[in-house]
């Protein structure tokens, strides 16, 4: 099941549990605005090439819309739609004053030079500059984009609207980016896992972890768990996978990856197949890579007792059912990976105030938001006697529905 169908299914289930009016339910599902633009740029050799850019703005009942821009060959309207909708529920779960959006350009960033990427980003910004803004829609980095991409968007947008650092988040610190933004998603995942495990009477330092994906999020999750004293027994990414039942030396593994660009040949562990990671023997499994990795075919073989979804939509609904029957507790993506957007919110606040925080304050506030959101999520689970995923969806959908009704959506 693709991401859009799965998200819609979760939304409808939450709407049923909440007893939402069917007209309101339909209104919440339809995006506020879908934008599709043509971006033609000269390549370095002088030839012209055209790309298609998207921005889906899903809902603005609770505040400006917020979401990443990804550069990836598989960017299509369906995927962007699902991710924009997920952002609406995610910002509501974290209780930050935003709605959801998502965007992207269908391209292969590795095949473009730095100057080609800059031209593409600037053309895309020229096409959408009057539809984004500090109080309208605030983009951020995503797959295939980074702080430099945001710097180009900021510069291009400012040509039309004057200096506006709060128009994007995830910027370089020198241009008004927030300290702690780089580690935010991974740190949020660890705070979320801590909240779940504490509630179960367990602690990170007593458990074993397997982490799929060793990019920004996965490497920060591994590093922070290692620092707390948890045992990371297996790690994988697209280059390979390594395991060590006594716990991998994460700082050494990070240095190895930095030096060689891959996980294989790491002296402190044994090589394993990447498929094996999801079913590896551990207490907590943390998928930090792509969506749809836990499916009907492998769900039965998962040995972890807890799954913390750091990736977007890593568990498809069939696997969800199988894992729930096995008694596996799944901490859903719309809560677990909300650390990134929460610190993006802190960055936006700092830019609007023109007053920057110290990193310690950023991390402290993030922990406060993640812990509070878990408490709210749990009370929804108790009120509606549902699992954690439905607890998160009912929490998010209910907040957006209330905001929509209070604003007078029928007028």
- Active centre residues (catalytic): 102
CB 348 within 8 A of CB 138: yes
The strand ranges marked E within 244-364 are: 270-272, 284-287, 306-308, 329-331
The residues facing 211 across adjacent strands are: 235, 286
Nearest to 182 by CA among 228, 216, 211, 148: 216
Helices marked H in 66-215 — which ranges? 77-93, 114-128, 147-161, 184-199
Q: What is the dihedral of CA 56, 62, 64, 65, to 10 degrees?
A: -20
CA-to-CA distance for 57 and 376, rounded, in angstroms? 26
411 DSSP 8-state letter: -
Q: Which residues contact 222 (CB under 8 A, 6 or more apart)?
A: 209, 211, 214, 232, 235, 248, 250, 253, 254
φ/ψ bin of 323: left (φ > 0), alpha (ψ from -120 to 50), beta (otherwise): alpha
Instruction: Indicate the length of the chain as a whole number.
Output: 411
């Amino acid at each position: 099941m693709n991401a859009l169908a799965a998200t819609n299914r979760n939304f409808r289930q939450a709407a049923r549990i909440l007893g939402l009016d069917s007209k309101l339910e339909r209104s919440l599902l339809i995006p506020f605005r879908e934008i599709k633009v043509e971006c033609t740029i000269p390549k370095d050799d002088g030839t012209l090439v055209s790309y298609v850019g998207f921005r889906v703005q899903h809902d603005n009942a609770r505040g400006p819309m917020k979401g990443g821009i990804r550069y990836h060959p598989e960017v299509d309207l369906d995927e962007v739609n699902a991710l924009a909708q997920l952002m609406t529920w995610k910002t509501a779960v974290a209780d930050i004053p935003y709605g959801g959006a998502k965007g992207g350009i269908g391209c292969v960033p590795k095949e473009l030079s730095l100057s080609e990427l800059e031209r593409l980003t600037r053309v895309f910004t020229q096409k959408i500059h009057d539809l984004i803004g500090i109080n309208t829609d605030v983009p951020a980095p995503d797959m295939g984009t980074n702080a430099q991409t945001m710097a180009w968007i900021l510069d291009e947008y400012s040509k039309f609207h004057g200096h506006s650092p709060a128009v994007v988040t995830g910027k370089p610190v020198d241009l008004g980016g927030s300290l702690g933004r780089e580690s935010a998603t991974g740190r949020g995942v660890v705070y979320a896992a801590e909240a779940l495990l504490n509630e179960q009477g367990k602690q990170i330092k007593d458990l074993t972890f397997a982490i799929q994906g060793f990019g920004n999020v996965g490497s920060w999750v591994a590093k922070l768990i290692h620092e707390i004293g948890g045992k990371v027994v297996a790690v994988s990414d697209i280059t390979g996978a390594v395991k060590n039942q006594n716990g991998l030396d994460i700082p050494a593994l990070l240095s190895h990856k930095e030096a060689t660009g891959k996980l294989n040949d790491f002296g402190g562990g044994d090589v394993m197949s990447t498929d094996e990671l999801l079913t590896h023997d551990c207490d907590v499994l943390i998928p930090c890579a792509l969506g749809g990795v836990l499916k009907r075919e492998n769900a039965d073989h998962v040995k972890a007792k807890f799954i913390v979804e750091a990736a977007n939509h890593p568990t498809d609904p069939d696997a969800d059912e199988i894992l729930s029957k096995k008694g596996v507790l799944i901490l859903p993506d719309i809560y677990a990976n909300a650390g990134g957007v929460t610190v993006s919110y802190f960055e936006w606040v700092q830019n609007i105030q023109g007053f920057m925080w110290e990193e310690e304050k950023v991390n402290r506030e993030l922990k406060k938001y993640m812990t509070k959101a878990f408490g709210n999520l749990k009370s929804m689970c108790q009120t509606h006697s549902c699992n954690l995923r439905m607890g998160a969806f009912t929490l998010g959908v209910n907040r957006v529905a209330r905001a929509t009704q209070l604003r007078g959506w029928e007028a």
